[in-house]
Structure 1
Amino acid sequence: MIRILLPTDFSENAFNAIRYAVKLYAEEDCHFILLHTLYNADYIMYSSLGGIYKEKSNEGLEKTKERIDHEFNNDRHTFELVSSYEMLHQEIKDRVKDRSIDMIIMGTNGATGSDQILFGTTTVHAIKVAKCPLLTIPSDYQFKKPKNIVFATKYEIDFSEYQMNLLKEIAVRTKANIHAMRANYGSDLKERQKNAKNELTRFFEGLPLQHHDIAADSVPQALEKLAQKTPIDVLVMIKHKRSFIEKLLFTSVIHEIGFNSSSPFLVLPAEKYEPDNE
């Protein structure tokens, strides 16, 4: 059974991400964890209000569950309601560590409707700490079965089955086309990149896979060019292990894509999480 974490702040944006998750996995046995985090400045300053916050949080979770049941009522899905005083990124770390979730699906902005503020904090923090796949859903994005999955890559790593299996599983279930896209800054592929590209082709053998080498100054620019001829229903990137400077650069790409993307954005971890390696 697939275990999926669904963070919510009870906004319409958060419920829209929940709706996407329930529809995407409509034919799968899934256990969804509805999570509302209580940690905020008010709670720190007025801890005596914790009981009130907890009560409202539980009420919000119950109402969200009732809304899901009313709208979908899928017998293949079970739901767990969690109200936590932890910060969201800490909840994510803990739940991935104890192997209680396989994936996170969340909205890119929340109740305030401010893309830049909330994508720059909540979602980016979640992406940084998540050692499992994380799928973000843009505000007001209407669910449709993916037809084109775009995987942005430089072909600079050895792709693992753990990384690619989820992508492959979604493509098989939705009968989507896979588009491997490289932003070409003016250089040819090195031998290692050619080998990685061939390995990717072998992994997706039998599935509709196309490689795109697009001349562009940045990944977002290359995506924009590709989108002019191929609608992007899901964008996929791998979060690599990097140095501090490279992490800053990677985060800037995440920000830029997040602010401009009108499609769901799936971030895959660099490798399968193993607690013993911490």
Structure 2
Amino acid sequence: MKKRILLPTDYSKNALNAIKYALGLYKAETCDFFLLNAFHASGYSLASLMVPEPGERFYEAAKLESEKGMNRLMEVLNLLPKNDKHTFQIICTFNSLTQAVKEIIDTKDIDIIVMGTKDITKSSNAFLGSHTVGIMENITQCPVIAVPEDLTFLPPKEIVFATDYKTVFKKKELHYMFDLAKMHHATIRVLHIESEGKLNVGQENNKLLLQDMMENIVYTFHTL
């Protein structure tokens, strides 16, 4: 089945790296990639009641810059080796990134989001960029893959899944991870941090349920 993957971008090196990572991760899969740039007009707040309308000078100037950036991005992507399994759709929209992502998930039936993160800098004490954190905190309709800055794509051989076994697992929530494991013949390492002694009956049942779900996947269990 064709996958529909959303790739938010601010046209930075970090965002481009995340896009390249997504192309590598899903190289063998038939995919529609949706490239999204959410723009705003200088001097206007998206939270304000006073926002420029289409046709107004500030709106059209911001839209033009967004479209120019998207054209430059497509020129870069066209230099990459062609993959007939991949198609691209471009979206430039006047909106906050979080709201734009929510709307596109609904209207385009998005399966997964891949976006970049930023390393720690002198001006920031957070590992993840604020946009990425906002998406991960506010988007629950589909998974988000956060790609660290400057990470070069290599097929994943191991996937760490951390759990306290307190959740009743649902296959529909974990199937993206299972798909990646099967796609790249990766081993899932299930990690439990022991903080309350031995597992109770409910946790043991959830562990068995997870084990049943991974019937056709290579996996191991680990406790620290």
TM-score with structure 2 setting the length: 0.87
Which structure 1 segments of 5+ residues have no match? 215-278
Question: Do the aligned partners of residues 117 and 39 (structure 1) sit closer, same or farther apart at CA in structure 2, a change above 3 Å counting?
Answer: farther
Q: Secondary structure at the match of 2:193?
A: strand
1:176 has 2:186 as partner:
yes
Root-mean-square deviation over aligned CA pairs: 2.2
Give the count of matched residue pairs: 213
Structure 2 residue aligned with 1:70 = 79
Pair 1:137-2:138 in alignment: no
Distance in 2 of aligned mates of 1:135 and 1:113:
25
Give CA deviations for 1:50-80 in whole Å, capped at 9, x if unaligned.
2111111111111111211211321111111
The alpha carbon displacement at 1:124 in A equals 1.6
Q: Summarize the Cα distance change of 1:30–1:61 in structure 2 as closer, same or farther, 3 Å threshold.
A: same
Offset, 1:102: 0.9
Cα displacement (A) at 1:96: 2.4
Aligned to 1:248: none
Identity %: 33
Q: TM-score, normalising length from structure 1?
A: 0.71
Alignment of 1:184-223 (within 5 A): 184-214=194-224
Deviation of 1:97 (Å): 2.8
Residue 18 of structure 2 corresponds to which residue in structure 1?
17
Shift in Å, 1:187: 1.9
Partners of 1:107 and 1:115 lie apart in 2 by: 16
Q: Which residue of 1 aligns with 2:103?
A: 94
Using a 3 Å threshold, how does the CA distance of structure 1 residues 209 and 114 change in structure 2: closer, same or farther?
farther
2:215 counterpart SS class: coil
> Which one has a bigger Cα radius of gyration?
2
5+ long unaligned stretches in structure 2: none
Equivalent AA in structure 1 for residue 146 of structure 2: T
Change (3 A) 1:115 1:25: farther
1:234-273 alignment runs, 5 A limit: none
- TM-fit CA distance, 1:116: 4.1
Residues 158, 189 of structure 2: 8 Å contact kept: yes
Matches of 1:142 and 1:120 in 2, distance apart?
18
Q: 1:144 to 1:113 in 2, by over 3 A?
A: farther
Runs of at least 4 residues of structure 1 off by over 6 A?
none
AA partner of residue 103 (structure 2): D
